[in-house]
Amino acid sequence: MERLILECLFLIINLFLTIFYVRLFKNVVNLRRKFKIPLGYDKNIDLQRAIRAHSNFIEYVPFSLILSMFLYFHNYLIFCCLSSFFLLLGRTLHHRGISNSKEIETKYLFRMRGMKFTMWSYYVNIIGITIYIIQTFYFFIKNY
């Protein structure tokens, strides 16, 4: 029963990450159409922030998802769910911070917390993969 819950949770979180990516993409496209800027950002701060939010998402999410999928296929569901949750929370907070043109008033609080949660996602993946490697070596040594 726990396995089913964790698998569903993992898939739902990944679905939300995909929807969030599409939202970021559409935000950039809409701003490009609104300001009629086909390439670059032409010194438009809102468009520049939207592009960076989208780019930052693309820079951090794929590698973390690959690591989470490795854990998922090796039945370390608690690690992949926790990692994906931290990733979703981190990217959401980071987007909220970087999209706010007056973020200096909040002292970059949302961006910093977003990056912390994103890094925690990587740490959870690293811990899960380390446990997998240790367990693999243990069973290899024990059986040979």
The predicted structure's pLDDT at residue 104 = 76
Domain that holds residue 23: 2-143
Q: Which amino acid is at 144?
A: Y
What is the token pair recorded at 45? 């701060």
Helix, strand, coil % over all residues of the chain, rounded to 5:
85, 0, 15
Q: What is the CATH number of the domain that holds 75?
A: 1.20.120.550
The predicted structure's pLDDT at residue 37 = 87
Residue 114 CA to residue 61 CA, distance in Å, equals 12
Written as tens digits, the pLDDT of the chain (144 aa) is 899 999 999 999 999 999 999 999 999 999 999 988 888 888 888 899 999 999 999 999 999 999 999 999 999 999 999 999 999 999 999 999 998 878 778 788 899 999 999 999 999 999 999 999 999 999 999 988
Domains contained in the chain, number: 1
Question: Position of tokens 């809409």?
Answer: 30
Q: Give yes or no for a contact between 126 and 70, defined as CB atoms under 8 angstroms apart.
A: no
What is the model's pTM? 0.91
